[in-house]
Amino acid sequence: MDATGLTAQEKITLFSAWGLIRKDLDIHGRNMLLLLFHKYPHYVSYFDFTDDASAQTLVDNKSLYSQSIHVIKTFGSLIEYGLKDPALFNETLKKITRIHAERNVYGKDILTIGDVLLNYLAQVLGRQVSDALPDAFRKLFVTIAGRFPVEPTEGDDKDRERSS
Ligand code: HEM
């Protein structure tokens, strides 16, 4: 098994599904982020979309749109280029974890966003989605999540502060 944690067949499954959304990636990326915020509203506060001062709602916020394009393109590069080249996959993942350092994003948040993306894909692709996609997709997200820190348990910081 290489750095991706996936079998050759799982890579093909992911690559094919990606091919179906790649044409309108900007729209899908924004929809996925909006769906994340709809299901888990507390994640909105992680981001800063105030660059677009004129937007009335998240849906028409161009700062959100712009950031969602970066997020989805970066995720897509793991599939499009990383699955073929595990060393590149590894480097891309390093970059992704570095972007999120100090932002309180943990492995469990990655698994949550993975579930949202999978739900979204099932909705937009319907019967075009192969039966093998959910498992392959979840495996990919387990690999990504494994590179993120584990959420500190309640009280960790306070205990440290008290003893210092
Ligand atoms: C596979 C999953 C993810 C990928 C590929 C990814 C990718 C990225 C990228 C490329 C950026 C830079 C965006 C830009 O410069 O416009 C970014 C920023 C960010 N991401 Fe993620 N992300 C992922 C998951 C998450 C999750 C689960 C959270 C938690 C809610 C999160 C929170 C953030 C935040 C707060 C920023 C900073 C935005 C800013 O610059 O203010 N990301 N992410």
List the structure tokens of 74.
């970066």
Question: What is the CATH topology of the domain spanning 8-162?
Answer: Globin-like (1.10.490)
pLDDT recorded at residue 137: 97
Does residue 156 have a pLDDT over 70? no
The pLDDT score that the predictor gives to residue 160 is: 52
Closest CA to 76 of 126, 40, 32: 32
Ligand 1 lined by 36 (C-beta under 6 Å): no
Does the C-beta of 27 come closer than 6 Å to ligand 1? no
The pair of structure tokens assigned to 14 is 């992911």
Classify residue 151 by its DSSP letter: P
Location of structure tokens 């100090």 = 102
Atom of ligand 1 nearest to the CA of 67: 16
Q: Does residue 124 carry a pLDDT above 90?
A: yes
Q: Is the pLDDT of residue 40 over 80?
A: yes
pLDDT band for position 100 (50/70/90)? very high
Q: Are 32 and 119 in contact (CB under 8 A)?
A: no
> pLDDT over 90 for what percent of the chain?
89
Substitution site in 51, 67, 78 for ligand 1 pocket (most atoms within 8 Å of beta carbon):
67
Domain boundaries, the chain: 8-162
Residues 133, 12: Cα–Cα separation, whole Å? 10
In the predicted structure, residue 163 carries a pLDDT above the cut 70: no
Ligand 1: which of 72, 99, 147 to mutate, most ligand atoms within 8 Å of CB? Answer: 99
